[in-house]
Structure 1
Amino acid sequence: MTASAAPATTGSVGEVFAAFLRLGLTSFGGPIAHLGYFRTEFVERRRWLDDRGYGELVALSQFLPGPSSSQVGFTLGLLRAGPFGALAAFTAFTLPSAVLLVLFAFGVSWFDGPIASGALTGLKVVAVAIVAQAVLGMARTLTPDLRRAAIAVTALVIVVAFTGPLGQVGAILVGAIAGMLLCRASAESDDSGLAFPIPRWVGVVALAVFALLIAGLPVLAVLARSPVVTLLDSFVRAGALVFGGGHVVLPLLEAEVVSTGLVGSDEFLAGYSAAQAVPGPLFTFAGYLGALAEPGPGGVAGAALALIGIFLPGFLILIGVLPFWHTLRTRPVAQGFIRGASAAVVGILAAALYDPVFTSAIVDPTTFALAVACFVLLVVAKAPPWSVVLLGAAAGILLAVIGG
């Protein structure tokens, strides 16, 4: 199968939209937790792909700039139902949190009080169980031998020693190099079968547009002196420079909108707090900022412009790489690269399970007990994630009411 050949997409756009809308409404906890939700839904429950293929997608998203969990979701939709499936996955997963944060920008403060605080506490605890389940399941498949287990541990150490995006990218790079040296495999023995319905010429055009945006928008912003172009340039630059997504984008956004005076510091922090209480990708925080940015179109138009700006670079470079992925991955050296990078992803997820997922959620014996209960429900009872999310939120509210 060539890189540009379409895989046997077997699903419908409606199926993809419905699956991702449910995740967009229930996936709390940030990008690492999202990857856990995705694995549970699409590897274990729906069986759209196996752990080997899923590990490849996660490793690839960690290498590329942009919103990692949204890139994985976009690619899952592409594999299932083609280009329109990819758009459906992105729209359904992104829309709920984008709408809530834009409403919050208009003054709809639904996130105050002990009940909302308790629900947020419970949702953080659920994220611990979700990520723990993902680490356990992916470790069984992606680190089945001592060499790959050692790569995973090394990646964990690197991420702990070097915090931030530099540590994550460095861990995957070290894992990939170690895989090329120690874990080579033939294409036949380790082929995930992933191929994407994107012609190579489309990939080349996407990369060219990416380069044009990065090089041309700053010049256009200076020449045009337009608030619209300036706003778009700020969010495109933030989306293009972040690796790993999620909280990594926050310092970039702060530099682009607070330091430049587009949004006040208090407004930025209030929006960031609200972003923690909504499901879906944290990149939708850009919608809140775009709605408030001055000068700029403001309102819904400003939110839409900011959301397009922050998501577009990551998707352009993803589309640019995917048509060439199958050809590259079938080479023995590339097989080792993928095996090592996928093992490193397990280490990165394990490190994130501790910090920030565990450390921010488990604050006392009660929250620890709730996390264990949620983990047992997911792993032993095979309860659907959405039911565990609801249970965790209800338990958090109950604990807040009792404690209050």
Structure 2
Amino acid sequence: MWEIFKTFFILGCISFGGPAAHIGYFRETFVQRLAWLSERQYAEYVALSQFLPGPGSSQVGFAIGYHRLGLKGACSAFLGFTIPSVTIMLLLVISTGELAGNGVFQSVIHGLKLLAVVVVFDAILLMYKNFCKDTPRILLCLITACTLLISPSVIEQILVLIFAAVIGVFFLKENKEDTTKKKKHCLICNVCTLINYKPLVLFLLLLFVLPLLMFFYPAMPASISVFSDFFQAGSLVFGGGHVVLPLLQNIVEGQVTADQFLTGYAIAQAVPGPMFSLATYIGYLILPSEPIVGALIATIAVFLPGFLLLLSCLKNWQRLSKIPSLAAAMNGVNTAVVGLLISALYQPVFVSAVFNSIDMAIVLIGVYLLKRQRLPIMWLVLLFAVIGVLLKLI
């Protein structure tokens, strides 16, 4: 168990570059160097992480730990990979209040906000290329983006994801012909025979029953509300860590300012490890009576849904992935997620970072450096921090 924790802790300290880079680090470490699993097994875990909501690269790490030493190994992998980024985010959010009036610090944050525009734009391009391959998918992406630009609330986000799943079942099947055996059973029946019920039941209780209890018993502690809010956000994040941005932004609206939120997101770009560590920053701010507790609760809550769902179907993933209707529903959801991220690119990312033509020019240069020159994300972080300071001096 210590070996698993130590290996993932080292990776958590050096894994800059986002989920795609993390997947590369994991493959080099656990398939090529340590040989803990085969290429085929690793590819299956990566596919599963793309299929389920949650933090993709962290789910792959969790699955590798589970493969190595069961649930203890999975938890050791999660803690090792996540502790570095959570610790850094905690230190930074604690320091943010003291540095709020510091002009240099604010200039650095402005530069990192401009980098956030570049990074989200790049994520949209990559996801659009992967998920919007034909006219029905492009239209579904467009409808989602327009809907959420006009009405960017949590309810609308949930409704468009459900709508996208239904559209996927009817119009986005990769293989139109189900086998005779599959036609005898509905989608729900097929899925129910292949899942592990215990983690799934816990997931459903936390997702649906906990909010109902809070509705009927509003005097419950604020920490329970924080857990519920971040658990709901983690339950709806398809397509990678960047998608947590619009979901969390709407859930915590009114509790943190747009500037505070984007500052946290900008800082999350600059630290190694999972993007979901943004929850640490936001959780600290929305529970001022117990900020450390709020940060830890938010962090656990946003990761937990993805891990519960992973445990629900990890053992039978190969058979689940071959159910055409289920795969089609996820095609629809993944397509809608691109539209959701497009809406987030405008609000809150773009409108909170780009204030003039110089800012826009810097964003365009950043896109060029990232897409054409393939400058590593760590160098971009340093470059945009310096640019932010230079803009202050102009």
TM-score norm. by structure 1 comes to: 0.68
Q: What is the distance in 1 between the residues matched to 2:170 and 2:209?
A: 37
- The correspondence for 2:227, drawn from 222, 236, 240, is 236
- Which of 93, 109, 113 aligns to 1:124? It is 113
**1:75 and 2:72 matched:** no
Alignment-derived partner of residue 182 in structure 2: none
The CA deviation at 1:371 is 0.9
> Does the Cα contact within 8 Å between 2:246 and 2:344 map onto a contact in 1?
no
Runs of 5+ consecutive residues of structure 2 not aligned to the other structure: 29-38, 67-73, 178-194, 238-243, 269-274
Picking from 295, 307, 311, the partner of 1:323 is: 311
Pair 1:359–1:272, CA change in 2 (3 A)? closer
Number of residue-to-residue matches in the alignment:
334
Choose the corresponding residue for 1:42, options 4, 22, 47.
22
Correspondence for 2:387: 395
- TM alignment of 1:4-403, pairs within 5 A: 13-22=5-14, 37-42=17-22, 57=49, 60-61=52-53, 71-82=55-66, 83=74, 84-102=76-94, 109-186=98-175, 200=196, 203-204=199-200, 206-207=202-203, 210=206, 214=210, 230-242=221-233, 245-246=244-245, 249=248, 275=264, 278-279=267-268, 281-284=277-280, 285-288=282-285, 290=287, 292-293=288-289, 302-325=290-313, 326=317, 327-402=319-394
Shift of 1:395: 0.5
Which whole-Å deviations, capped at 9, do the CAs of 1:207-253 have from their partners, x for residues lacking one?
Answer: 3873799389869x99xx9xxx8353343233345456557557766
- Greater Cα offset, 174-183 or 48-57: 48-57
Q: Structure 1 counterpart of 2:174, which letter?
A: A
Deviations 1:305-327 (A, max 9, x none): 32343344444433332234435
Q: Which amino acid aligns with 1:397?
A: V
Q: 1:250 to 1:137 in 2, by over 3 A?
A: closer
SS in 2 for 1:130: helix
Deviations 1:25-70 (A, max 9, x none): x7xxxxxxxxxx5244235787689999879746743xxxxxx6xx
CA contact (8 A) 1:143 1:343 kept: yes
Contact kept? 1:101, 1:274, Cα under 8 Å = no
Unaligned runs of 5+ residues in structure 1 are 1-10, 27-36, 62-67, 189-198, 259-264, 294-301
Work out the CA distance in 2 between the residues paired with 1:146 and 1:122.
37
2: distance between equivalents of 1:45 and 1:73?
Answer: 10
**Structure 1 residue 384, shift from structure 2 partner:** 0.7
Q: Provide the residue aligned with 2:183 in structure 1.
A: none
Letter in 2 for 1:384: P
| 2: CA distance, partners of 1:251 / 1:152 | 20
Deviates more, 1:344-353 or 1:126-135: 344-353
Rounded Cα–Cα distance in structure 2 between residues aligned with 1:380 and 1:128: 17
Decide whether the 8 Å contact of 1:135 with 1:346 is kept in 2: yes
Whether the 8 Å contact between 1:111 and 1:277 is mirrored in structure 2 is no
Q: Is the 2:12–2:84 contact (alpha carbons within 8 Å) kept by the matching residues of 1?
A: yes
Cα offset, 1:165, TM superposition = 1.8
Distance in structure 1 (CA, Å) of the matches to 2:175 and 2:79: 34
For 1:146, the aligned partner's letter is: T
Whole-angstrom distance in 2 between the partners of 1:273 and 1:131 = 12
AA in 2 matched with 1:394:
V
How big is the shift at 1:111? 3.1
1:211 and 1:343 map into 2 onto residues whose CA distance is 23
Indicate conservation of the 8 Å contact 1:55/1:345, yes or no: no
Counterpart code for 1:76 = V
Change (3 A) 1:158 1:15: farther
Distance 1:90 1:16 in 2: 9
Worse-superposed segment, 373-382 or 321-330: 321-330
Equivalent-residue separation in structure 2 for 1:269 and 1:332 (angstroms):
41
Change (3 A) 1:138 1:335: same
User: Aligned-residue CA RMSD in angstroms?
Assistant: 4.1
Retained in 2: the 8 A contact 1:152–1:345? yes
1:333/1:91 CA distance change after superposition, 3 Å: same
Q: What displacement does 1:113 show? A: 2.5
Amino acid at match of 2:305: I
Alpha-carbon contact 1:217-1:233 (below 8 Å) kept: no
TM-score normalised according to structure 2 size: 0.69
SS at match of 1:361: coil
Say which is worse superposed, 329-338 or 85-94, in terms of deviation: 85-94
